């Protein structure tokens, strides 16, 4: 289990799967916490042994799934730097960003965490932290939407373009307005550093949220 390819387990691939799953859960949770959608479309589920909320809206779900599907190859190659869920106000200006910053792990190994217990704990901690993040963040204006941004290398973008063609889910380069905010304050939320996944989550909020 020590190496990347032991017992038929490709640790890198496994990590990518775990990460994608986690991101999916986290996105749903953020949507719920930040009240981007009415609570009615969410249902309670249990993940990592903590209650989470998951959207039942097929189109929302489809969007999130598609994003993560097309991003997964990047994660496998450690080319995904950040995944950002940006909350946009009614004029499509970002007011809040939840940034998952993913750092490459030099030598992935399961040797310290054979049954992924510690990893699960860390992810659970993330979710719990997300659950309470509204305490440290300002309220967002009503009528907000969201968008998912991905930070990666240009070469990877080209690669994505090949695969997206198949998935019919094209990526475009983000407008500057989509990812820049004025007068940003950053709230670090959680960080995990293990032999498998190294990631931190922080929220950025614009001061002129309400205005």
Partner 1 sequence: MSRRGRRKFGDGGWSEEGGYMAAKKRKLDEQFGEDVPRQIQRQGSSSKIFEGVTIYVNGYTVPSSDELKRLMMLHGGRHTFYYRKTTVTHIIATTLPHSKILDIKDKKVMKADWILDSIKAGKLLSCPPYMLYTKQSKSQPGIRFTKVDPPSANQATSSASIASEDSENRDDPANQKSEFLQMEIESSELTTQDPESGKLANHESDSSDLTNQEPESSDFTNMEIENYELRNLEISSPVKVSSQSVTSVCVNQDNSVMSFDENEVMTDTNMNDGDCRKKSKESPQSAQLMGKNIDQRLPAKAGDPNFVSEFYTNSRLHHIATWGAEFKDLVKKLQTEGDAVFSGREKLKKLYASSRSDDKVHDFGFHSDKKGGNKPERVIMHIDMDCFFVSVGLLSRPELKGTPVAVTHSKGKGTQLTNRPGADPEFEKAYYENRHKQKVVKGKSMSGDKIQMNTAAAPCLTDSSVVHSTSISELDSTKTFTSMAEIASCSYEARKAGIKNGMFMGQAKKLCPDLQAIPYDFEKYKEVSQILYKTVASYTHDIEAVSCDEMFVDISDIINGIKVTPLQVATAIREELYRETGCNASAGIAPNILLARMATRIAKPNGQFYLQADTAAEFIKTQLLKGLPGVGSSLNHRLETMGLTTCGELQDKPLRMLQQEFGPKTGQSLYNYCRGIDERPITADKERKSVSAEINYGIRFTQDSEAQDFLTELSTEVQKRLKNIKMRGKTITLKLKARKSSAPLESAKFMGHGVCDNIAKSSTLMTPTDDVKIITKECVMLLRQMKIHAADMRGMGIQINKLSSAASASSGMSVLDYMKNQPKPSTSKINGASDRSKVNDKNDEVFVTPVKQCGKKGIRDMFQNGATAKAETVGSVAMPTSDGDLFLPSPSQVDPSVLAALPSDIRQQIEKGYAARNQSIPTKKRHQNNLEVASSKWDISVLQALPADVVKDLLLSELGEKQQTYSGGNMLQTTKQIQNENMQMLKDVLEAGPSRVEKQPTHDVVPSFSQIDPSFLEALPPELRNELKNTYKGKNSKMATKLQDKIKCSPVKLSSPKKGKSKKTSPGRGAKGSSRSIKSSPQKQKIDWRNKQRNIQNMLIGSSSNMVDPDHPGNPDSPALVLDDVQRKSDENCLGEEEEKDKEEVMQGVEKVKPNLCGRVDLSDVKTLVKEWIESCPAPELEDVGQFVQYINDLVDDKNLETVDLLLKYLKRHVMKTGRSEWKDGYNLIVIQTQDLIKSIYGSQLKIESDLT
96 binds partner 1 (CB under 8 A): no
205 binds partner 1 (CB under 8 A): yes
Q: Judged by CB under 8 A, which stretch of 2-10, 84-92, 144-152, 197-205 contacts partner 1? A: 197-205
Binding mask 137-176 for partner 1 (x = CB under 8 A): ----------------------------------------
Length of the chain: 211
Q: Give whichever of 84 and 144 is closer to partner 1, judged by the CB atom.
A: 84
CB 88 within 8 A of CB 95: yes
Q: Give whichever of 18 and 41 is closer to partner 1, judged by the CB atom.
A: 18
Q: Judged by CB under 8 A, which stretch of 8-16, 27-35, 161-169, 193-201 contacts partner 1? A: 193-201
Q: Judged by CB under 8 A, which stretch of 29-37, 64-72, 140-148, 182-190 contacts partner 1? A: 182-190
187 binds partner 1 (CB under 8 A): yes
CB 198 within 8 A of CB 102: yes
Q: Give whichever of 88 and 199 is closer to partner 1, judged by the CB atom.
A: 199
Q: Judged by CB under 8 A, which stretch of 14-22, 49-57, 115-123, 190-198 contacts partner 1? A: 190-198
Of 132, 136, 145, 165, which one interacts with partner 1 (CB under 8 A)? Answer: 136
202 binds partner 1 (CB under 8 A): yes
């Amino acid at each position: 289990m020590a190496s990347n390819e032991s017992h038929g387990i490709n640790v890198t691939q496994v990590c990518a799967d775990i990460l994608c799953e986690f991101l999916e859960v986290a996105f749903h949770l953020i949507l719920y916490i930040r009240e981007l959608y009415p609570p009615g479309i969410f249902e309670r589920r249990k993940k990592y042994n903590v209650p989470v909320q998951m959207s039942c809206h097929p189109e929302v779900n489809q969007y999130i799934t598609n994003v993560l599907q097309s991003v997964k190859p990047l994660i496998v190659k450690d080319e995904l730097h950040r995944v950002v869920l940006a909350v946009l106000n009614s004029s499509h200006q970002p007011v809040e960003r939840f940034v998952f910053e993913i750092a490459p792990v030099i030598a992935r190994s399961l040797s310290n965490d054979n049954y992924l217990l510690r990893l699960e704990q860390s992810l659970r901690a993330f979710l719990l932290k997300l659950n309470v993040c509204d305490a440290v963040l300002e309220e967002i204006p009503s009528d907000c939407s969201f968008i998912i941004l991905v930070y990666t290398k240009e070469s990877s973008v080209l690669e994505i373009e090949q695969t997206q063609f198949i998935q019919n889910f094209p990526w475009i380069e983000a407008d500057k307005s989509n990812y820049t905010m004025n007068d940003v304050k950053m709230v670090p939320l959680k960080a995990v550093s293990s032999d498998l996944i190294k990631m931190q989550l922080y929220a950025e909020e614009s001061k002129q949220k309400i205005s």
